[in-house]
Amino acid sequence: MTDMGQLIEPVIPGLRRYANALVRDPAEADDLVQDCLERAVARWGQRRADGDTRSWLYAILHNLAVNRWRTLRRRGVMAPLEAVDPGSLSVAPAQEHGLARADVLRALDRLPDEYRGVILLVTVEALSYAEAARVLGVPLGTVMSRLSRGRARLASALADDAPVRSHLRRVK
Amino acid sequence: MSADRPIGEDELHAYLDGVLDEGRQAAVRRYLDARPEERARLAAYRRQGEALREALAPVADQPLPAELNLNAIVERRRTTLAARRRVAAAAAILCIGGLSGWFGRAAVAPPARGIDALGREAVDNHAVYASDTLRPVELASDQRATLIRWVSERLDAPVQAPDLQGAGYRFLGGRLVTTPNGPAALFVYEGASADRLTVMVRPMQIDRNRSMSERSYGTLEGVTWSKDGLGFSVVAPRASTDLRPVAEQVRRQASFS
């Protein structure tokens, strides 16, 4: 346990952050992380001894999230993004400087899942490209091309939002 | 000079993410210095990354909820595994017990067919139908003749619905009910205080002639007997009435039929 605890526990805050970014519902996200940890504990003996615990944990979590989306979408209960209460995202109201936090998360939500995962793992979770490739189960080249396209799409989504925001500000 | 090698998109991202080979960093910087629009694009990527990190940072800073405590998860798993082992062990024992019970069933559990079974069945049916305020009977008292014909035919025995007016019970009607020993006729009566009394009749394979016996079943009470292969059971809530005289009336009327 001590060995396992020392390797797993430092990763848990990052796992929560990743889960929250993916599913955008704090309770649902913690359910996923709990599920992930239970699996990790159960399969601790089966992981590759030379493998990296951090990417192994993110991979378990990512796969659980993907399965969860599939189920939700099959049932058609995925909440439209507009319906997500911004207050539930623990995000500050729109700031005048830089990118507003709510805006960037909203823009991220509009990206296809394959881009979101890569961007979050590399940018927020600070995984190496090789680790991200392991988590997502894709070749390194795919990680690079998704990262490139994902960042471009996120940037253009944010650029599209900007005029709407200033327009709203003028109106009020 | 290596700077002459074209700069790849991958290298721009690696530069942004701080993982570009040291030897290529100067080349990328020179490349960007010469291209303001590319510099702006990377700056936008950098800003979006910062915004994402900032937006999501609070989640990682929160204290961990109790359900994500690793020690608790390990402990829960240990107890679950232990419980599962216990369940498996218990299931194995049950399985053995079940098999020997099944093969030994004739020895230990005689089929419930006799007068005791009749009493039990009557109580069960009373519990289901007498408490039904909407539809306690399938055929009401105004269809008495149809009811009698129906149940007599199904039971293959001459059955009468006793008249219990004298005992203060109004006939509501009746229905065919199921028992583990085949169909039975159930007649439902109502007393002055809307208390219900039922009379159940079915053919008897064994215990074909038994004298009257009284028995309580929880809140219910039953008087059971059989005569010439037909079993009778009168059931009512305990202490709602003295069942014996009512049962005597039923028996008298049955022997006239």
Residue B13 to chain A, least CA–CA distance (Å):
7
Give the pairing of strands B220-227 and B230-237: antiparallel
- Cα A28 from Cα A20, distance rounded (Å): 8
The residue type at A144? M
**Would you put residue B188 in left (φ > 0), alpha (ψ -120 to 50) or beta?**
beta
Residue A42 to chain B, least CA–CA distance (Å):
8
CB contact residues (below 8 A), chain B span 14-43, against chain A:
14, 17, 19, 41
pLDDT of residue A172: 44
CB contact at 8 A, B184 and B176: yes
As a whole number, the mean pLDDT across chain A is: 80
Residue B186's pLDDT band (boundaries 50, 70, 90)? Answer: very high
Cβ of residue B49 closer than 8 Å to a chain A Cβ: yes
pLDDT of residue A160: 76
Task: State the DSSP string of chain A.
Answer: -HHHHHHHGGGHHHHHHHHHHHH--HHHHHHHHHHHHHHHHHTGGGS-TTS-HHHHHHHHHHHHHHHHHHHHHHHT-PPPGGGS-GGGGT-PPPPSSS--HHHHHHHHHTS-HHHHHHHIIIIIS---HHHHHHHHTS-HHHHHHHHHHHHHHHHHHHHHHHHHHHHHHHH-
Residue B147's CB is within 10 A of a number of other CB atoms, namely 24
Q: Does the pLDDT at position A59 exceed 90?
A: yes
The first and second tokens of residue B220, run together, are: 């219910």
How many CB pairs (< 8 A) connect A and B? Answer: 111
pLDDT of residue A78: 47
Q: Residue range B231-253: average pLDDT?
A: 90
Q: Do B13 and A148 touch (CB under 8 A)?
A: yes
Residue B54 to chain A, least CA–CA distance (Å):
7
Residue A83's pLDDT band (boundaries 50, 70, 90)? Answer: very low
Q: Do A42 and B50 touch (CB under 8 A)?
A: no
- Cα B7 from Cα B28, distance rounded (Å): 7
Residue B75 to chain A, least CA–CA distance (Å):
10
Cβ of residue B46 closer than 8 Å to a chain A Cβ: no
pLDDT of residue A75: 59
Q: Residue range A122-128: average pLDDT?
A: 95
Residue A69 to chain B, least CA–CA distance (Å):
20
Residue B72's pLDDT band (boundaries 50, 70, 90)? Answer: confident
Half-sphere exposure (Cβ direction) of A45: Cα atoms closer than 13 Å: 1
CB contact at 8 A, B224 and B118: yes
Cβ of residue B57 closer than 8 Å to a chain A Cβ: yes
- Chain A residues whose CB is inside 8 A of the B70 CB are 4-5, 8-9, 12, 37, 41
Q: Do B67 and A129 touch (CB under 8 A)?
A: no
What are the strands, taking DSSP E only, across chain B? Answer: 139-140, 170-179, 182-190, 196-203, 210-217, 220-227, 230-237
Question: Which of residues B193 and A117 earns the better pLDDT score?
Answer: A117
Q: Does the pLDDT at position A149 exceed 60?
A: yes
- Cα B68 from Cα A36, distance rounded (Å): 10
Residue A73's pLDDT band (boundaries 50, 70, 90)? Answer: low
Q: Residue range A153-171: average pLDDT?
A: 68
Residue A113 to chain B, least CA–CA distance (Å):
16
Residues 6+ apart with CB under 8 A from B182: B202, B203
Cβ of residue B68 closer than 8 Å to a chain A Cβ: yes
Chain A residue at shortest CA distance from B53: A124
Cβ of residue B79 closer than 8 Å to a chain A Cβ: no
Q: Does the pLDDT at position B111 exceed 70?
A: no
pLDDT of residue B203: 94
Cβ of residue B74 closer than 8 Å to a chain A Cβ: yes
Identify the top-confidence range among A80-89, A90-99, A129-138, B234-243. A129-138
Q: Of A30, A122, A147, which is closest to B68 when you measure between CB atoms?
A: A30
Which candidate, B118, B119, B117, B154, places its Cα nearest to that of B139?
A: B154
Q: Does the pLDDT at position A82 exceed 60?
A: no
The torsion angle over the Cα atoms of residues B223, B225, B230 and B232, rounded to 10 degrees, is: -10
The torsion angle over the Cα atoms of residues B28, B29, B34 and B35, rounded to 10 degrees, is: 70
Q: Of B48, B59, B71, which is closest to A17 when you measure between CB atoms?
A: B59
pLDDT of residue A156: 92
Cβ of residue B78 closer than 8 Å to a chain A Cβ: no
Q: Of B48, B60, B65, which is closest to A158 when you measure between CB atoms?
A: B48
Residue B15's pLDDT band (boundaries 50, 70, 90)? Answer: very high
